[in-house]
Amino acid sequence: MQLKQQFTVNASADRLWEIMGQDFAHVSHWASSIHASQARQTGIVPQGASCSGRVCTTSMGEFKEQILKYDERKKMVAYDAKGDKMPFFVRQIENSWTFTPLPGNRCQVDMRMKISLLPVFNLFMGPMMRMQMGGVVNQVIEELTYFAENGMPHPRKVDAQQKPQLKGA
């Protein structure tokens, strides 16, 4: 199953690459579904990358993401994600992002997510997974766009950061 999105951001490709490539480990700074993130140094660190991947803490537990491709010249990063609480029928999740400069300090973003399910589950769970992951992807795109264009996290991320503080008060 594949999910593809192509969209335009009113920020430079360099700015998007800074967020998604150079600062790969710190997705928790702007994505509301990621409570915390940190760099991983296990495995091969691709040339030009600051880390081999990242560990993300989410409401579904911890996800370990490994960079598969990192191309600074093409402004492209690809990685896979593995989570302890991923459903057993999800074999693999891969995601890639490419940032292409456009006139007027804008950028075309191409996102491609590939989710491999066990064959029998693809038939039954595929449509539900596509709908659920499509919602997650749309939220990430909205928050990435907001962060790139405004230089600050989306209000949803700000709210998510304040909720744990309110519970402890």
- The answer to whether residue 77 sits within a structural domain is yes
CB 76 within 8 A of CB 98: yes
**Mean pLDDT (whole number) for 2-18:** 97
- The answer to whether residue 167 sits within a structural domain is no
Containing domain of residue 81, as a range?
A: 2-159
**Mean pLDDT (whole number) for 51-73:** 95
Taking CA 84 as the corner, what is the angle to CA 83 and CA 88, rounded to the nearest 5 degrees?
A: 90
Q: What is the mean pLDDT of the chain?
A: 92
- The answer to whether residue 43 sits within a structural domain is yes
- The answer to whether residue 19 sits within a structural domain is yes
In the chain, how many domains are there? Answer: 1
pLDDT per position as a tens digit, 66-83: 999 999 999 999 999 999
- Which tokens sit at 33? 């579904």
pLDDT at site 164: 60
pLDDT per position as a tens digit, 87-107: 888 888 999 999 999 999 999
pLDDT at site 88: 86
pLDDT at site 124: 80
pLDDT at site 169: 46
CATH of residue 61: 3.30.530.20
- The answer to whether residue 145 sits within a structural domain is yes
pLDDT at site 135: 84
pLDDT per position as a tens digit, 146-158: 999 999 999 999 9
- The answer to whether residue 165 sits within a structural domain is no
- The answer to whether residue 166 sits within a structural domain is no
**Which residues, 6+ apart, have CB-to-CB distance to 165 below 8 Å?**
none
